[in-house]
């Protein structure tokens, strides 16, 4: 058995020829990709064209694996990444509801719980901010369904569509991030879900500080 390795230089234009060089003429039975979703999208197309099974160790976006029947991954699907966190917030809100009458006034420590009446969970509205990448968008695409699954009201835009705002993966324009967050704030969001990376998250936190807006947990 032999192991042949190749590199794609983090470029979608180079990852396909790199994979072809690593597998063709070497008796390869399958390809192993260490790329994230964006590059695996292309690498998987090349391996499929060559009739090879592709096993991805770094991709999680659903579209990577539904484009053919020879691509498999090791990570959970990105679409369910926020399932457990939203479930935990909903459970905490339900616990508040179970231990205090819904008619009770809001307190600083419970805001936004009871802020609008009807109980803690009923007062929570979820909104989404995503980085402009395949992987991040794959996470947020299922946000509306996950929000509804756990009993959250989902913030919507003027057309009635679930409110998901998009910013660059590594933002350089602070106004762009501020404007995106203002959309969520003005829509009454108090549970903010980020489908992001470290660079995106740091920019969002800085913007929240600039706007003096911190959606509190229940």
d(C-alpha 85, C-alpha 119), whole Å: 20
CA dihedral 98, 102, 106, 111 (to 10 degrees): 50
The pLDDT score that the predictor gives to residue 152 is 92
Average pLDDT over the chain, rounded to whole? 80
Q: Which of 24, 121, 19 is nearest to 71 (CA)?
A: 19
d(C-alpha 89, C-alpha 126), whole Å: 11
**Cβ neighbours for 98, distance < 8 A, ≥ 6 positions apart:** none
Cα 12 to chain centroid distance, Å, stands at: 21
| Per-residue buried b or exposed e for 29-67, using 16+ beta carbons within 10 Å of the residue's own CB | eebebebbbbbbbbbbbbbbeeebbbbbeebbbbebbee
177-215 tens-digit pLDDT: 999 999 999 999 989 999 999 999 999 999 999 999 876
The pLDDT score that the predictor gives to residue 87 is 93
The pLDDT score that the predictor gives to residue 119 is 78
d(C-alpha 107, C-alpha 135), whole Å: 38
The C-alpha angle 46, 42, 78, rounded to 5 degrees, equals 130
- Residue 7: is its pLDDT beyond 60? no
Please give the average per-residue pLDDT across 26-53, as a whole number: 78
**Cβ neighbours for 6, distance < 8 A, ≥ 6 positions apart:** 18, 19, 21, 22
């Amino acid at each position: 058995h032999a192991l042949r390795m190749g590199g794609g230089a983090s470029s979608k234009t180079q990852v396909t020829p790199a994979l072809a060089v690593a597998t063709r003429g070497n008796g390869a039975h399958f390809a192993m990709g260490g790329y994230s979703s964006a590059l695996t999208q292309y690498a998987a197309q090349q391996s499929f064209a060559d009739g090879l099974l592709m096993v991805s160790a770094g991709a999680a976006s659903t579209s990577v694996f539904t484009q053919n029947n020879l691509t498999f991954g090791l990570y959970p699907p990105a679409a369910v990444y926020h399932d457990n966190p939203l479930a935990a917030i909903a459970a905490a809100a339900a616990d508040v509801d179970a231990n205090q009458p819904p008619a009770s006034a809001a307190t600083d420590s419970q805001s936004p719980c009871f802020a609008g009446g009807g109980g803690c969970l009923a007062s929570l509205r979820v909104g989404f901010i995503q980085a402009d990448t395949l992987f991040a968008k794959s996470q947020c695409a299922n946000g509306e369904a996950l929000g509804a699954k756990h009993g959250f009201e989902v913030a919507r835009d003027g057309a009635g569509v679930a409110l998901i705002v998009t910013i660059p993966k590594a933002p350089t324009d602070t106004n762009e991030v501020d404007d995106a967050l203002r959309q969520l704030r003005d829509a009454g969001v108090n549970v903010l879900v980020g489908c992001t990376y470290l660079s995106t998250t740091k920019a969002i936190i800085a913007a929240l500080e600039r706007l003096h807006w911190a959606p509190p947990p229940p």
